[in-house]
Structure 1
Amino acid sequence: MKKLNILFIALISVSLFSACSKDDPAQEVDQEEVSGATLTFTEVKAEAHDDHFHYNDFEGAEVEKIEFKGNNLLPDVGAHVHLEVGKSYRFNLTVRDFAGRESQQTFVERDDIHFAFLLGIPQDALTVTYADKKADGTRVKVGTVGYITVKKETSTFIFNYVLRHLNPGVKASLDTKTDIFNKDYTKFGGANDLDLKFELHLVGEDEHDHAH
């Protein structure tokens, strides 16, 4: 009887732990649990301050969005984004689970094991800086929020946004400025939480009105 009681208590403990894990709002959300994602690019004004820039919102700013749906998080056929040379944009990643709840902040709160790589970009076509904030206001570098400045025109290319779940301790080995574009990103051990691809075209000022 004593052994049966111990077994019963053990089973109850496992059940309670499982239930708590599923209900924990900080629980990891991977692509299999994502119902949709959106990348939004909002034009901002870049203001130089010493060796860095401040980015400010303004009325009438251009906004571009690309949505990813379905089990494979694919954009609609023919969907694409145009960004203009000489302009700066804030990008925001929005992720929703199957209950429709936004979950991108989960990655930010666990910044020590998350980092986004931006791949497929022609050399020197963009400059990028990340600007994530945790719930308590702490600034971190993950890549759910950041700023892009378009430096030169390009043909249309496939922009690949990869949000990687890194193994413990790995993030300390990467440079959060230069490794954003690292094609060899898989050397940073871990697994991809998100792998989003879409067509991006960097255009000159006169081309933009004809690009849509």
Structure 2
Amino acid sequence: MKKYCYAFTAIALFLTACSKDDEKVAPEDPNVISSSRLDFIEVNGSAHGDHFHDLAEKTGEKDSIAILFNAQGETQNGHLHLDPHKVYRIQLRVFNKAGHELQQGFLQNKTVADSFKVFLTGGNFVLNPTTGDAENGAIFQPREQVYGDGTSIGGKYETTGILAYFTLGEANSGAEADISYVLRKFTDPATKAKIERTDWNYLDYATRYAGTDILKLTFEVHAEEHE
């Protein structure tokens, strides 16, 4: 009986240790990520320069679109129709083989998050700050509020883009483009503090900001009004 008890205890401890080790695995490890998802959910908000004012959840009927990606960042349903007049909340979700979500691992604390930033590249969009009083260009605004350890995220230079808000704007109405949601890990964490809100759209982001793409999720966007 003692032998059985010892064996049972050893197995229980082993499984507990494995579970804890799994939680500690760095989510950027390509062997851990099994699939990803981008959720686009319509919200209320208004454009102002390089950011939004009065962001709030929208009640009642609203656009809600999910794009699924495999471990290689490939998608089978990646043709996305977005109303250029609307504002969308974008949420990244990353899953391991067991279906557990990993995306918060990139925001564990400031030290970890300083190495990561999201870019939305490939669209060559007209950006909102260039449209003057019209305020009808594109905005992509990362907007996390709190790190995983409970401390506040201090402004635009600390945000990452795991949670972000996006509009195409009327100036991009009719645009069609293959764009990529890129989560990049910088070689030097000090790089993040130099990135402005209007730096999300560069085609040459990889040469501007040394590092490695942890995720590159490519999909087609068509800007058109919804009837």
Task: Give the shorter-chain TM-score range.
Answer: 0.7 to 0.9
Normalising by structure 2, report the TM-score: 0.72
CA gap of 1:190–1:101, structure 2 versus 1, over 3 A, is same
Q: Deviations over 1:57-111 (max 9, x none)?
A: 1222210111002x423111x5311110211110000000112110001112221
Contact 2:176 2:222 in 1 (8 A): yes
Once the 2 structures are TM-superposed, how far is the Cα of residue 118 of structure 1 from its aligned partner?
0.9
Residue 27 of structure 1: which of 18, 25, 28 is its match?
25
SS class of match (1:86) = coil
Identity, % of aligned pairs?
27
Distance 1:68 1:145 in 2: 17
Partner of 1:128: 140
The total of aligned residue pairs comes to: 185
Q: How does 1:110-125 map to 2 (within 5 A)?
A: 110-124=112-126
Query: Partners of 1:36 and 1:120 in 2: how far apart?
Result: 22
Summarize deviations over 1:156-204 as a string: whole Å, max 9, x none: 2101111011123342463241221122212312111101101111113
Pick closer, same or farther for the CA change 1:169–1:79 going to 2, 3 Å: closer
What residue identity is the alignment partner of 2:125?
A: Q
Aligned partner of residue 34 in structure 2, secondary structure: strand
* Distance in structure 2 (CA, Å) of the matches to 1:55 and 1:82: 21
Higher strand share: 1
- Sort the Cα spacing of 1:68 and 1:113 in 2 relative to 1 into closer, same or farther, 3 A: same
Provide, for residues 131-169 of structure 1, a one-character-per-residue CA deviation record: whole Å limited to 9, x for no partner: 123121522411111111221213321011110111233
Residues 164 and 193 in structure 1, CA contact (< 8 A), matched pair in contact too? yes
Note closer, same or farther for the CA distance 1:52–1:43 as it changes in structure 2 (3 Å cut). Answer: closer
Q: Does structure 2 conserve the Cα–Cα contact (< 8 Å) formed by 1:42 and 1:62?
A: yes
* 1:178 pairs with 2:198: yes
Q: Which amino acid aligns with 1:36?
A: S
Secondary structure of the residue that 1:123 maps to in structure 2?
Answer: coil
CA distance in 1, matches of 2:48, 2:202: 27
Q: CA RMSD in A?
A: 2.5
Please report the TM-score for the alignment, with normalisation by the length of structure 1.
Answer: 0.77
- Which residue of structure 2 aligns with residue 154 of structure 1? 174
Is contact 1:45–1:58 with CA below 8 Å preserved after alignment? yes
Q: CA deviation at 1:48?
A: 7.1
Unmatched 5+ stretches in structure 1: 1-18
AA at the equivalent of 2:40:
F
1:34-183 matches, cutoff 5 A: 34-47=33-46, 52-59=52-59, 60-69=61-70, 71-76=71-76, 79-109=78-108, 110-124=112-126, 126-132=138-144, 133-135=146-148, 136-139=150-153, 140-151=158-169, 152-172=172-192, 174-183=194-203
**After alignment, is 85-94 or 152-161 more displaced?**
152-161
